[in-house]
Every structure is written in structure tokens, then in C-alpha cells.
Amino acid sequence: MTEFSHDVLLDEPAYVPPARKADWLMRIGVTIVTLVCFLALFGPYIGPYDPTRTTIRIAEPPPGLTEIPGLMAGWIGGTLDHPPHWMGTDANGYDIFSRVIAAPRTDLKIALLANLLSLTVGVFFGLVAGYWRNWGTELLVRVSDVVQSFPVFILAMVLVALAGRSATNIIIALAFVYTPIYLRLTRAEVLSQTSRGFVEAARAMGNSELSIALRHVLPNSLTPALIQSSVTIGFAILLTAGLSFVGAGVRPPTPEWGLMISTGANQIVLGEWWPSVFPGLAISLTVFGFAVLGNALERRYEKG
Amino acid sequence: MKTMMSTATAALCALTVAGAATAQEILILAEDVPAGLNYDGPAAAIPSSQQGMVTLLEPLVGYADGETIDGVVVPDFDTFEGRLAESWEYDEDTLTWTFNLRQGVTGCGGATFNADDVIYTFERAKSVSGAAPIGWFLSNVASIDGFGPEVFGEDPAAKELGDSIVKIDDYTVQLRQAEPNALLLPVLTIFGLLIFDKETMEANATADDPWSHDYVNNTNAPGFGGYCIESWAKNEQITYTAYPDYYRGAPDATRVSVRRVPQSSNRLVVLRSGQADLVTGLTPREYNSIADTDGLTVAGVTGNENLFIHMNYDVEPFDNIALRRAIAHAIPFDQIIATGYFGEATQWNGMVPSTYPGYTESAGFTYDPDMARDLLAEAGYPNGEGLDAFAEAFALSYVAEKESTLGPIVNVIQTALREVGIPATLDPIPQTQYGDRQLVRRDLPFAVNDQEKPIGVDAGYAIQLFFVSPENGGLNNMVNYRNADLDAMWAEARVDPDTASRDATLAQIQDMLAADVTWLPVVEYRTQWAFNDRISGLKWYPDNSIRYTDLQVEE
Amino acid sequence: MLLRYITRRMLIGVVQLFCLVIAVFFLIRLLPADPVSRLVGLNSSEEAYAQAAAQLGLDRPLFEQLGIYLGLYPEIAPGLLQGSLGVSWATGSTVGSEIATFLPVTLQLITLAFFLAFAVSIPVGMLGALNPGKAADKGVFVYSLFAGSQPEFWWGLLFVYVFYFQLGVAPAPLGQLSPMTFPPEPVTGFMLIDTLIAGEPAKFVEALHHLMMPVITLAFILSGPIIKMVRQNMVRALQSDFVLYANLVGLPRKRVARYALRAAMGPSMTLIGILYGFMLSGAVLVESVFSLGGIGQYAIRSVLAFDYPAIQGVVLVITAISLVVYLLLDLIHAAIDPRIAY
């Protein structure tokens, strides 16, 4: 009984779906991710309202489907006294549509940076722990085990409570949570790479250990971590939203999908569905998009 | 005990099967049920815990009923009436109060009330043995002799009651003050000096815990109130049964169950479904949504709840008075009243609650963005240029747990301030952290606060608490306001025996405070409750807890 | 051998827990606030603050506080070594007794959700694996990707809107029982069991009704990764030598599938363990939507109230349960898969 613990999951190659399957799915994934990236760049500027300025209309429902053409005509014709609230307004009087399309800037920024940070740190320590195997690196792995066994949500909440609600602190909290995953992935890959011949060959050619680790082992061990990235970005968006939902997310009135859902959550039992349903739909599609993309990348990697 | 509990549970089951609560039994939904019943214990500062204490325990004195406003009786703060004390005399020369206690009062535990219970209550307060010495604090506020800070020293004798409060006979107690102080009677009405039933308390004491803190924290607060505890599960529910021999008459509601439903919208749903009789703590919008519903009543009273903006003098740029005034004129008061309170509030034009004795209308800021811009320029920041350097200072803090009530208000303020060029952002922080930073560290730069209700019903008390320099006893001077003139004037007014001249000084102080925008008063809002047709008779008290004994219940 | 393996795992677990306790202890002492002002409230004086801080032991040196928590000074207060998790600063009750009321709510919720997710995932996953490349497989694949990447709290809210507000078939999200029903005397803390012990089938049904939506919400999210795993392991098992052999000798298809399922279940156990451990605190969002006072809610309340002993207790208990679950599932895995030896 050697390496038999709960990390089996991560060491196993993913299932290989049959070729050519679900190409349309891949296209959906790419479309969603492209759209979200576009909104992250331009979303805050293209909405009809400033996403952080209240209007005097509190919790106004969105227009019914039949009213949309009329409103559209009025809007273009300039006969309305204010642009229509396509998704209604929330309990604070914000235009929901403008906030839904402005939010990717916040959500994607947090997810990308948290991922980049945990990827860098995790890969670095994974490489060290996999290449130089001694008691020090063993300790490193055990420490990361402890971090991983810590309840994710509570950890993130404590970290945010410690440092205050800000995007930076959420990025750090998420990175803390995800680093052990990259560390394990990379270490496992390094272990399998070093057992191949090329390390011996490089040694025989007189390369230094450091240069072998960096120039030969690292590039060959990076792929699983990079593939994991797409999945992690999706989950980081979920976790960011979840943190906002329990009051440990970004500060209001920053447009952020989880925060928007939580603003509307209280009133849903009273039938006010629009403040939470639209941002939730956005999260649902975005994370699905990243999951699809991640899966497609995984398949490419498995093939060749 | 166990059998009693299960019989009670069985009785209740029968009830539930029968459908809605039957005759004289009511179900109340609240944010929480008491987390403890000990006013010297860890949960004492939480309103839902205080609600439990005032249900089980009785004070020595109370306020007489005053006017009825919109169907709610409010107290007459100028008239005290006896509760467990029947009458009292005050001797100015010796600063001694003699309380004649009521005879024939019994409590749920079967004990009869007498002077020993009063002595026990003050002994326990002075022992400062609990987590939070609130009984001691109130006695100290009222200048009761011997209740000074020395009780926290090493000398165990300082923790003993001594001769400042003595038993004359079974129904007479004498109490001596250290200096003239008008706050004694007001303080005796407050939940932190309610009288315990000594007999039951001592029966539940242990060697480690001679003052029965554990018992009161977790099981029962034995006293002489109109209700007895039937069952109590923290975080879930508490049920009281009426005490038929209550000295003020058997309560009309024979059984009161309080259930914890943390989200206000959920409480509203159950009330609307007809399954609950009374709910507290809804948001203004939720109260508004049922204002016209048949069979439901929303009652409210402008008592002592208000909302103001807090700007810390110790944090740049809030030391700049012109900037403070600029902010005051940038606040759209009417929009806040309309969208934040649905009309159930009025602009607050003073520095202390307008219902308190000694209040003067001293502030009166108008919403005038142009004037705000001019003042901003005068302050040295034309159009807000240069304010970006203080981005952290302009993060407007508020209690995160109150998001659904405060959210609409802080968002309006944030938008309005940015309209005139002030780079405001929002920073909701948990209640505990907010309290720590407001009271202990005093480092909150900029905040919205709707939870300051001075427990002493008096303008002077509020001024001493909030506006006297921290060094001179301003315990809750959260904005670090320091004004030597004000300190001197209050020192004078504090011991001024003449009400008219005292009020004149207090009025002058309030004008000074308004000129410096010490607080930026925004609105006074109504304390509200929603209930169904079966309930009437609600009264308002300065602690904002309901007395279930007041309620009339239709069958 | 087995005994030695278990002992070794337990020992490692205890060391891990110990490190965790130390880490958490110091981490939360960096928090930017302490709860003293909340305890004293009421605009109290400095002496009162000092008194309250002393009551909480905050005036003692840090290492002495740690020692007390670990139970090295039982004469001051019982600690971990004496089996005590301390006393909550927010309520004055022992953390152990509070966790004992909150934890069963979560355990009940997630255990039911896992059973439901499993009951759905095994046939669905097998359907995919047995029909590779066909429409059913594609459908299963897309579903598992979708369900595995969803914000569960949002689905919970959506379900509340549709099934409570619009259709009226589900109860309002008000916790384990309706506010009008008095809960049975807590014996085990598990509402479903307690109602039966108390002999009240009507309340049992009511509790089940209230659990319906949160369980479905969680099971929906969980079914994503579980289906994916079942399908993947099933495909692998179907390609393995013993299945090829079974097919060659002409065993009935159903029977072969059953063999393959058995082989596929082993590796799936590991995933279940991880998910279960994660859900102990991860169910917090669903608990919050449905007002279920579970352990996650308790954790959040403790963090928001800066209730140090409660935070420490919650982390310790959740992690300890996760470790035990991992161990149990590894043992079950070994029992299913005879190739694993210790």
C-alpha cells in the first residue's frame, strides 16, 4: 500500500470521450467564454445605466415579453423619459441589466488572478517537492495536505474577515485554497517524468540539477496544471459568488453576480425573482462554459 | 423537570394538531430567541436576549403611561410609578433613597418578594462576576455609592455591597448615592437592574459559580415577572406561560411562543399565511407591503431610533468642518425617507432623540447639492479634487447584518456623494467588528449608524455619552469630538439643580454640536411591529422590547 | 496488517489535526477585532472592557491561552485533553453542546443528498458507459458537465420560487419544521430519527417534506461529478481483462454489467469521501437558502461574531469527520476491491 489516499482522483487520467462527440458543445463553450471576456473588457461601459449609481425606481419588475417591442421602439425613438430596465431594478434601485453585464470584469478578474497566483505558487512548490525528495519537501506536501483538509468556505471567510472585504483579499483567499491542488498535480507529474530516461540522459550530459528541473522537467510537467486552470477559473467564479452570498465577498456596490443574487435572495419568497435570477443565470452559463472548455482541452491532451 | 417538559410538549402537540394557536396563545416570530437571560452575561447586549429578560424579571420602578400615538401607548418620561417598589422618598441632604417594597408579590418559583431579593440583586451586580458587568455599570451611571471602578481592583472587600444599600426591614430598602444625580430612577427602569428571585437563584448556585451565572445564561432567569419559562432551545424557540398570580394581574396571553426565523422576509411570509400572530424586525419595505392588508396591522411609534452619519475627527479629511458641512448638504433626506423608509421616518433635526427631555431642534440641513459643491470648494477640494487621496477614509461602513434595511439608504448616500465629487464607497462589516471599531478602537472613519439609543432617557445623558471628550468621560464618543467649552458646560449642567437653566445650557450645547456637524443627523424612524387582528394593547418602551403582559388577545 | 494500517492512518490524522488546531489558533488571533465590545455593549467603561476581556481569558499570554485550549491547565478550564472544546463567547454555552445541535442537521441533509445523488447517478452513469458514443451517452455527458458546474444556492432559490411561490407544492424555506410545529425532544439531534423516537409520524412526514427541496438541490449538484466518475470507472472496468473474459465466455450482459459496476464502485468511493468532506462545510449555502441551522451556518455565525472557541471547535470537528470518512471509505474500497492489500 503506497500512494493510496484521496488524491487518487487527481492522479487518474480523465475519461476519454469518443472522438468527434459534442463538437457543438465545444462551440457553445468557446462562445460563452468569448462573450464573458468581451464583457469583462467593455461591460461596464455599454450598459444603459451606470452600474454603481442608484435610480429612484426600487424593485421594479422587468418588462413583460409583450412590452419589449414597444419599449424598444420608444427607446430608439427617444420618447421614454429613461432607458428601459430590461431586467428590472433591485431593492436598492440599481439597473440589473447594466450590473449583470458589468460584473464579468469583477468576477473574471478575481478568478483569473486567483488562478494565476495559485498556479504559479503551486507549480513552483510542486516542482520542488517532486524533484528534490527529502524531509523538507515531504513536510511541504504534508502542510499542503493540512491546508487542503481545512474547510474551504470557513478558511476563505476567516481570511476575508482578517483582511477586510476587497477583491485583492478574495484573490489571496482563493489562491490559498487552490494552491494545494496545483502542487499535487505538478508533483505527481514531475514524479512520473523523472522516472523516464531523459532526466538521466540530461544528467549524463552534465546539466546542473537546477537546469534539468527548470528546462526539462518543468515544461513537460506543466500540462495537467494548465488544463486544470480552465476548471479552476470556473470554480473560482462559483466560490467568489458563494462568498458574496454569505457576506464575505467584494464590497457593494461593486457589480458582482453573487452579491447581486444575495441582494435579491431575501425577497424571493415574496415572489421578487428578477434581482437574483438574471445574475444567477449568468453564473450558471459562464461556469458551464469554462467547464466545457476545460473538458475539451483535457481531451486534446489525452489524444496527443 | 423532565416530566414537566414532556407534558408541556405533549400539550403543545395537541395544540398543533388542532390547527392555528387556540385561545389566548400567541406565536411570535423574531430574528432570534434569547441567547442568554443574564444581564451580566455574554448575551446581554443583544436585543433578543433583553426581550427575554424583561419578560421574566421586573424592575423596581417604571415610567407611567403617557399618550397613545397611532394606537401605541408611549411612556411619560416625566412620571415614574412603582413596580416592585411601591413608593419611595428621597432625602437631599444625605442623598438617600428609601424604597417601600410591594408586599404579597410571588414569583414562578414560589418565592415571595422582599428586601432580600433587592439586596441580592445589587450584591450580585457589585460582585462583577459575570462576563459583562452591566448591573455594576448602571449603578455607576446613577452614582450609587461604592459602585466605582475600585470593584475591579484586587481588594475583595470592594466587591462587597457594604452599607450603600441596606435592608431596613423585610419591605424597606435604603440606597445612598455618592453625589446628586438625576439618573437614579431612569436607571432602575432598565433591564440591567431587574430584580432576581434570590431563593431560586441560590438554589441553583454552585461552589464555582456562587452567583448562578450558568443557570441564568442557559436555563432560567427567576424573578417576579408575568411569565414563567416553559421551554427554551437556543437558536430555535422559547415558550413562556403566563404566571396567574402576577402582581399586576394575570396576563391576557396565557402562553407566548417565540420562534427564531432569521430572515425578515420569511417572517413576513408566515405572518401573511396567518400562522403567526406578531412579528418584529421587518424591513421598512416589508412593513409597507402589508400596510393595507386586511387582517394585519402595522403599528409604529417614533421612539428613540434614528440614523446618522458618523465622521471621525481623528481621520483626515473629516477634521475639516467645511467638508463636514458639504457632506451634510449633499444628503438627499427626502429620497432616503421615501426609498429607505417608505415614509415611516422624518428628518432628524437635532443631536439627541427628539422625544427625550431636554431636546432642542438644533440642526436642520437642507439637501442642496450646489451649496455642497461651494462648501467643498471652501474646504479646499473644488469638485472633489484631491479627495482621491483619502479613498479608504471615504469607505462608508455599516453593519453588514442590517444589509436589507440599510442597503437602500447607503446606496442612495453613496450615489449622492459621488454626484458632488466625493469618492464614497461602501464597506459593510460584521456587527462585532463594527462594535469593536466604534467603541474600543474608535477608528471608524466614515459610517452610517442606526443603533444608538441612549439608555438613559435624558438629553444630558446622551451628550455625556456621545459628545463629551473621551478623556472627560465620553464613553461612546465614537467620532473623537473634543471641545473643552462643551466639557465645561456639561460639568456645570450635570449638577445644576434648576431644570430651566440646565435645559438652557443643554440647548446651547446642542447648537454647538450642530454647528460642528459632530454627528450628521439624517432621520428618526419609526419602531414598528406587524401583527394580526387578535392582538392589541401594544406599548412602546425605550428598550424597544415588547412586554407580553401588555398584550390583549382575542380568542 | 489491517489493524496496523488503521493505527497508522489514525496517528497521521491526529498529527494533522494537531497542526490544524495550532494553525487555526494563531490564524484567528490575527482577526481584526475581538468580541468584547459586543459582550459589554451599552457604552460601558474601560474597566468593564477589561473585566470582560479577563473573563474570556484574553488578558493571558498567547501561549498560556493555547495551553488552556489544549487542556494543559485543567485547573483553569478544561481543554481538548479533557474532551472539552471550550465555551462559546457569544452564548456562554459549551461549544461541544452547540455543535451537537448544529452538526446533525448538516449530516442528515448531506447524507440524504448523497443517497439520492447515488440512486440517480449509478443508473445514469451506467447508461452512458454501456452506450458509448450514442445519443444517451452524449446527453449524460452534457448533464454531468452542467450539473457539476452550477451555483447551488441559486438553484435553491430558483426551486423556492418555482415550487413554493408559484406552484405551492413545497413548504416555505423556514428550516426543518414549520414554525408552528414544536420539535420533538432532541435525542439524537437528527430530526427524522427524533420524530420517530417521539412516536410522531406526522412530524416525521413534515420534516421529510421540509428536507425535500434542500436535498434535491444538493443532490442535483452532486450528481454531476458522481455521474462523471461512475461513467469513467465503468468504462475502464468494461475494458478490463476480466470483463472481456466474462464476455468471451458468454455470460449474460446484465451479469457482466453487475461485475463491472462492482469493480467501478471502488475508485468512486474515494471521490465520495472527498465530496462528503467538502460538503460538511460546503452545504452552508444551501443551509442558508433554506434556513437550516447546520454546522456551516454555525461556522459563519462564529466567524462573524469573532467567537474564537466556536471557530476552533467547528474547524476541528469538520476536519476530524472528513478524516474519519476518508479512512472508512478507503476501508470499504479495500473490501470491494480484493486487489488492495495493506
pLDDT digit string, tens, across residues C289-330? 998 889 998 998 888 888 888 998 998 898 888 888 877 877
Q: Which residues of C touch A17 (CB under 8 A)?
A: 141
Q: Which residues of B touch C306 (CB under 8 A)?
A: 430, 432-433, 436
3-state secondary structure of B252: coil
Least CB–CB distance from C315: residue in A5, A154, A161: A154
Pick the residue with more confidence: C147 or A188?
C147
Q: What is the CATH number of the domain that holds C242?
A: 1.10.3720.10
Q: Is residue C328 part of a domain?
A: yes
State the pLDDT at residue B106. Answer: 95
For residues C239 and C301, membership in a common domain is answered with yes
Looking at the 3D structure of chain C, how many domains does it have? 2
Radius of gyration of chain A from its Cα atoms, rounded to whole angstroms: 23
For residues C54 and C116, membership in a common domain is answered with no
Q: Which helix (H) or strand (E) element contains residue B296?
A: strand B296-301
Interface contact C39-B131, CB threshold 8 A: yes
Burial (CB count within 10 angstroms: exposed 0-12, middle 13-18, buried 19+), residue B288: middle
| B400 within 8 A of B448, measured Cβ to Cβ | no
The amino acid present at C327, given as its one-letter code, is L
Q: Is the pLDDT of residue B258 over 50?
A: yes
Nearest-neighbour CA in chain A from C262: distance (Å): 18
For residues C74 and C203, membership in a common domain is answered with no
For residues C132 and C26, membership in a common domain is answered with no
Sign of CA dihedral C38, C40, C44, C48: negative
pLDDT band at B84 (very low <50, low <70, confident <90, very high): very high
What percentage of chain A carries pLDDT values higher than 90?
Answer: 27
Burial annotation C16-26 (CB, 10 A radius, 16+ → b, else e)? bbebbbeebbe
State the pLDDT at residue A19. Answer: 47
Name the phi and psi angles at B378, rounded to 5: -60, -35
Q: Is residue C87 part of a domain?
A: no
- Strand residue runs (E) in A101-228: none
CA distance C129 to C127: 6
Across residues B513-530, what is the average pLDDT? 94
State the pLDDT at residue C113. Answer: 95
Radius of gyration of chain C from its Cα atoms, rounded to whole angstroms: 24
pLDDT band at C84 (very low <50, low <70, confident <90, very high): confident
CA distance A212 to C127: 47
Interface contact C300-A150, CB threshold 8 A: no
Cis check for the bond before B521: say yes or no (omega within 30 of 0). Answer: no
Mutate to test the interface with A, among C19, C28, C29, C153 (most CBs of A within 10 A): C153
State the pLDDT at residue B16. Answer: 41
A27-31, A194-198, B539-543, C107-111: which has the minimum mean pLDDT?
Answer: A194-198
- Residue carrying C-alpha cell 387578535: B534
Of B430, B318, B431, B432, residue with least CA distance to B381 = B318
Q: Which helix (H) or strand (E) element contains residue C319?
A: helix C308-336
Q: Give the end of a domain, one of C25, C51, C82.
A: C82
Q: Is residue C223 part of a domain?
A: yes
A271-280, B212-221, C18-27: which has the minimum mean pLDDT?
Answer: C18-27
| B286 within 8 A of B265, measured Cβ to Cβ | yes
Q: Is residue C342 part of a domain?
A: no
CA distance B320 to B465: 23
Across residues B181-209, what is the average pLDDT? 92
Which chains touch C (3+ CB pairs under 8 A)?
A: A, B
Nearest-neighbour CA in chain A from C187: distance (Å): 28
Partner A, chain C 285-324, Cβ-Cβ below 8 Å? 285, 288-289, 296, 299-300, 303-304, 306, 311, 314-315, 318-319, 322-323
Give pLDDT tens digits for B455-480: 778 898 899 889 999 888 787 889 99
State the pLDDT at residue C337. Answer: 66
For residues C52 and C114, membership in a common domain is answered with no
| A184 within 8 A of A202, measured Cβ to Cβ | no
Of A107, A65, A58, residue with least CA distance to A86 = A65
Least CB–CB distance from A6: residue in C284, C296, C326: C326
**Any CB–CB contact under 8 A between B430 and chain C?**
yes
pLDDT band at A74 (very low <50, low <70, confident <90, very high): confident
| B121 within 8 A of B135, measured Cβ to Cβ | yes
Supply the mean pLDDT for chain B. Answer: 89
Pairing, β B61-69 against β B72-82: antiparallel
Q: Is residue C111 part of a domain?
A: yes
Give pLDDT tens digits for A227-261: 788 888 988 999 999 998 888 888 889 999 999 99
Burial annotation A118-138 (CB, 10 A radius, 16+ → b, else e)? bbebbbebbbbbbbeeeeebe
Q: Is residue C94 part of a domain?
A: no
Region of residue C238 (left: phi > 0; alpha: psi -120 to 50; beta: else): alpha
Pairing, β B395-399 against β B425-429: parallel
State the pLDDT at residue B179. Answer: 87
Pairing, β B227-233 against β B527-532: unpaired
CA distance C152 to C76: 45
- Strand residue runs (E) in chain C: none
CA distance C337 to C265: 9
Q: Is residue C91 part of a domain?
A: no
| B510 within 8 A of B350, measured Cβ to Cβ | yes
Which residue numbers of A have CB closer than 8 Å to B's CBs? 52-54, 56, 58-59, 91-94, 161, 164-165, 247, 251-253, 263, 266-270
For residues C145 and C280, membership in a common domain is answered with yes
Q: Give the end of a domain, one of C22, C48, C82.
A: C82
For residues C28 and C114, membership in a common domain is answered with no
**Any CB–CB contact under 8 A between B431 and chain C?**
yes
Helix segments in C149-200, DSSP class H: 152-159, 191-197
What range does the domain containing C323 cover? 101-336
State the pLDDT at residue B11. Answer: 39
Across residues B121-125, what is the average pLDDT? 95
| B280 within 8 A of B31, measured Cβ to Cβ | yes
Across residues A201-225, what is the average pLDDT? 79
Q: Is residue C89 part of a domain?
A: no
Pick the residue with more confidence: B306 or A82?
B306
Q: How crowded is residue C185: how many other Cβ atoms within 10 Å of its Cβ?
A: 14
CA distance C183 to C190: 11
Across residues B367-392, what is the average pLDDT? 92
Give pLDDT tens digits for A89-143: 998 899 999 999 999 999 999 999 999 999 999 999 988 888 887 888 888 887 8
Region of residue A247 (left: phi > 0; alpha: psi -120 to 50; beta: else): left
Q: Give the end of a domain, one of C82, C115, C141.
A: C82
For residues C74 and C106, membership in a common domain is answered with no
CA distance C309 to C88: 6
Supply the mean pLDDT for chain A. Answer: 83
For residues C69 and C189, membership in a common domain is answered with no
CA distance A255 to A269: 23
- Rounded to whole angstroms, the maximal C-alpha distance in chain A is 80
**Any CB–CB contact under 8 A between B268 and chain A?**
yes
B105-114, B143-152, B360-369, C24-33: which has the minimum mean pLDDT?
Answer: C24-33
Give pLDDT tens digits for B425-448: 999 988 888 888 888 788 899 999
End-to-end CA distance of chain B: 30
For residues C35 and C178, membership in a common domain is answered with no
Helix segments in B330-442, DSSP class H: 333-335, 341, 369-378, 403-419, 431-435
For residues C188 and C261, membership in a common domain is answered with yes
Name the phi and psi angles at A5, rounded to 5: -150, -165
Pick the residue with more confidence: C26 or B329?
B329
For residues C107 and C200, membership in a common domain is answered with yes
Nearest-neighbour CA in chain C from A255: distance (Å): 17
pTM of structure: 0.86
